[in-house]
Structure 1
Amino acid sequence: MRPVVVRPKVELQTLVNEITDSETYKITEADGRSFAEHSHEQLVAKLQRIIGLATFNRDRSETIDKQVRRLDELCQDAAGVNFNGFASRLREKGRTGAPKSLTNCLALSPVWKS
């Protein structure tokens, strides 16, 4: 069984950079998929984890609740979904459709720095 996230300490911005860099599409991994595809998969998994933790802790912290509400707005503007649906939307868009939405959302919010 392979791990969900191969590089758990990699930052979200690094994954976005890997997806947006055209050179990562030229690097083929052992399973035949590009490095960008792997980065996209890791990004979605990492976002799902962050979203799950934020949703779980939303009722416990006013600060988290405010950040989630702000992220709802940002995700709605960037991807047409709320914060809870953001990872699913990125998975649907695939590695080539996701970067613009991600870049918009990541650039506007300090919450993603974790």
Structure 2
Amino acid sequence: MLLIQNQAFDPRSSDHEVIKQSLDQFIGTKSIRVEWFDFSLSQADALKYYLPLIQYAQANGFEVHCHMPVDMSKHLVRYKHLMFVDPLFLRKFKFKSIEFKLPVERPDLMR
């Protein structure tokens, strides 16, 4: 999901040209957030759907930040799908920042 000024764009269900036209309306805006909520998204799908749009946004002067919600992190750790923590994969996107929280299970709270 691409988020910019309270508007969300889903590259998997929307036409890339329509999203690019929408991004052109926000050229004066400084940054865009990319949030991955889909637990089944593979690296190949992320490259196919997100990389062209992120490169387009970066070419137009946007700072692109990545955010991974806590429930996504929990899922990736639980099922050992740590594809988004792969530095070689993330380097392709050239994010300005990457934010994710790994879940912490405290034994003293597990009683």
TM more than 0.5:
no
What is the TM-score when the length of structure 2 is the normalising length?
A: 0.27
More strand per residue: 2
Bigger Rg over Cα: 2
TM-score scaled to structure 1, two decimals?
Answer: 0.27
Larger helix fraction of residues: 1
